[in-house]
Structure 1
């Protein structure tokens, strides 16, 4: 009979053992983890024992990454529980949890299992391109853990976003403290249990309370890195709290993403993408479409067709934290001349119940507050762009520059994408490509700084440590200063870096003269 683990009164088969079986050279650790999984009575003892923690700290990055990769199997085993835990007024479709959380999170875990060790491997700096004055010096750049990483989770994607951040921090060798968002406690608990079941010690990954005070206390006690996914205002408060301890931070904050429509764009594809972006996860997505930038020639026809499609969409429930802000922004826009093209917007229903039909606001201009605000609701503001240059300026002038999309012929769209000062640009698509585990994700301006995910996100969980060794007896910097040193070194500078052959040759002659004098 296979070993089984007790979880809230139910027996769950721990597929995670398969991941441990392929980890070489950690027999004692694997045996301890098997006991951890098999016997619930010793779980607390093993998870907090110095022996297990010591063995974990002795694992190589390859071994840690393989264990992290095996967590995908544990998540699959508990997928029904996770789907139920992620259900909310904003997440009513189980398919969304599978496609937007479980599939990309498991892909990210597998990516770390296969590629993480290579990304974290020491980089040797040998003779190639070595400065002449460092003859005999060989260096190695190591990636070492930062120490303790505090992950501040989010409510709209409670598995994928904090899950990848925790996995990367653990794979890099850090201790992690995960503070879940309010309402995401159960999903976070199951996530952490999967990490523990696959061999991550309990003191290596600790689940904090969802109350704000838990984050405040953790920051005041001192952590080495804070990773926040949340609103820009929350980011400001976290940075203020982190200032006394000078804790490093990665801020993955809000967006006000634009969709630029070029001449020749596939309108059917564009409208399908906008419909998806306004409905997926109740439009509670930081990279959802918020502004549609259209040139005058295509404006009216496109808006009419979009109106027809959006008029068929059902209402969604806006998160309580966003309702008042959205209602205020929409009221300001309508008062300033924006037009509700669908005519279904009910401000009282939004404020009191949170129910909201997709809202298509036409004639929005750059000076409207809603054109540069982080809106977590199905609101799309249509803005006129005189030409492509104007559209690019509208994107780059917005304080929120998390992502953008460009729809149009591939060559022209690529040219526009290269001019946008945002973290991610998708061409003829939106949202979905950002779930690729190989890609980093981060924003500009008030959308935050630093990256998570991808190789860059994994390296962001480490510090660079350089070890240099000099071989041989040659160490000219250690000998006493000679009268000819200035002339010789000045000549060397000119010979090595002078602009043009004549200047470099003059530097060589200068070296020869100094040697003759010596």
Structure 2
């Protein structure tokens, strides 16, 4: 059993998952109550003990089998993703392929990252051995988003499972079918216990998960909701990892490959209808190549076809945000070189120039298929403007000679140089941001450690005459220790 079985009285409370392109009902799911959620967490406690007991190799074997199920039935999963989000089949497949790579990496590397390792005991305790290992937290609650309903939540789920935890997953109310599909696939390879369970519903269901006594919450969503989750989790000192929004910049130096930079900007801004937390929303271009860059961006953008190369806006309320940002930019002197139209489902790919830096289109997360492009006199100005935001998730640099130095100066958790989003596909790299983009990390070694607790062990191998931790310690011993420490560490340079 992977989905939570609601009580008879709760069965009447259901909601529909809709195709955002047609409003056709994709599926109907229960609104799980706080009691349902608590029951799921209680079941997960028993499952966690069994799952942790399998050890690294036992869990890796199950994860590899799960990965095989996903891979062989990829077309089926992609169809569910496309129907619930509206994204094209190719984009759904790209998302699943990236998730498969992460499952493989986590299964393969969990022991190496989390297993017991020796540490130096130091000269004063040279008769000891010291080691540290990482143990599972127990039950992890994951609250996932709708924009990448496979790749993003599995960045938490996969690493939590590989670390030895059971997971209770609350997918977005816009993509419950994707969450259920993933949990059902996992149940095929781990039928003994409900190691991965899905609960469905709205904000109240997610809030119930935060207060249900889980050992950690992993949340992906808006900054505002992340703050509410943190406040609720603080009541029980439940740790959280927050992956929130972004207002990600792309900067282009004078020596950059302009054509490649323009292609990356168009893909980064418009793929998935711009509904990407690491999507390109702001572009700062050196004045020497600005005109060439803008011309190339406009040329490429005019080839992008809404409804074919990207889908509708998944969340209808986001249309109002995009509409407000475009209107504000135009009202304050900006120009739309392409697009600007916002329909009842689709937004035209929109390139904005001459937009003031204090406008909503530059300061706030748009989360739609728009980008602003600004001319800068040099890369110092580009970095200053790129960093002038409360967010700090991802950034992209296109440059040759100074690319690495520019990347080091950008305030962001992740940087991609001369390619879009490459950090997201590199399983060994941590994913996360700073500031209003959240904190904590998924993916890579840091992602595995995020869902485990370090345990330190010091063991005395043999007794020595110089005993420091006893009431029988003498003044002679203290004098000897003082001389020893002074000799070791007291030299001045």
Tell me the TM-score range normalised by the shorter chain: 0.7 to 0.9
Q: 1:494 aligns with which of 478, 486, 492?
A: 486
Mapped to 2, the partners of 1:482 and 1:54 lie a distance apart of 48
Q: Is the 8 A contact 1:403 1:424 kept in 2?
A: yes
Mapped to 2, the partners of 1:289 and 1:121 lie a distance apart of 38
SS at match of 1:380: strand
**Residues paired across the two proteins, number:** 446
Partner of 2:109: 115
Partner of 2:290: 299
Partner of 2:337: 341
1:171 aligns with 2:155: no
Mean CA deviation greater in 174-183 or 215-224: 215-224
Q: 1:135 aligns with which of 89, 103, 126?
A: 126
Mapped to 2, the partners of 1:366 and 1:144 lie a distance apart of 47
Deviations 1:301-358 (A, max 9, x none): 322332232123223522313111222222222222221122x3135x3xxx032111
Q: Is the 8 A contact 2:263 2:297 kept in 1?
A: no
Change (3 A) 1:495 1:430: same
Change (3 A) 1:55 1:236: closer
Partner of 2:171: 180
Partner of 1:97: 92
Q: Is the 8 A contact 1:163 1:191 kept in 2?
A: no
Q: How does 1:57-456 map to 2 (within 5 A)?
A: 57-88=52-83, 90-99=85-94, 101-125=95-119, 128=120, 130-199=121-190, 201-315=192-306, 316-319=311-314, 320-342=316-338, 344-347=339-342, 349=343, 353-409=344-400, 411-456=401-446
Q: Is the 8 A contact 1:340 1:362 kept in 2?
A: yes
Deviations 1:109-130 (A, max 9, x none): 22123222222211122xx4x3
Q: Root-mean-square deviation (CA), in Å?
A: 2.4
Q: Is the 8 A contact 1:258 1:289 kept in 2?
A: yes
Change (3 A) 1:162 1:421: same
Query: How far off is 1:213 after superposition?
Result: 1.6
Q: Is the 8 A contact 1:156 1:284 kept in 2?
A: yes
Mapped to 1, the partners of 2:84 and 2:52 lie a distance apart of 41
The alignment's TM-score, normalised by the length of structure 1, stands at 0.81
Q: Is the 8 A contact 1:151 1:227 kept in 2?
A: yes
Structure with larger Rg: 1
Mapped to 1, the partners of 2:237 and 2:420 lie a distance apart of 36
Mapped to 2, the partners of 1:463 and 1:487 lie a distance apart of 39
Mapped to 2, the partners of 1:229 and 1:321 lie a distance apart of 18
Q: Is the 8 A contact 1:68 1:109 kept in 2?
A: yes
SS at match of 1:467: strand
The alignment's TM-score, normalised by the length of structure 2, stands at 0.85
SS at match of 1:364: coil
Query: How far off is 1:404 after superposition?
Result: 0.6
Q: Is the 8 A contact 2:47 2:193 kept in 1?
A: no
Q: Is the 8 A contact 2:259 2:293 kept in 1?
A: no
Change (3 A) 1:374 1:223: same
> RCO (CA 8 Å, sep 6+): is it higher in 1 or 2?
2
Mapped to 2, the partners of 1:50 and 1:295 lie a distance apart of 56
- Unaligned residue ranges in structure 1 (runs of 5+): 1-47, 502-518
- Unaligned residue ranges in structure 2 (runs of 5+): 1-42
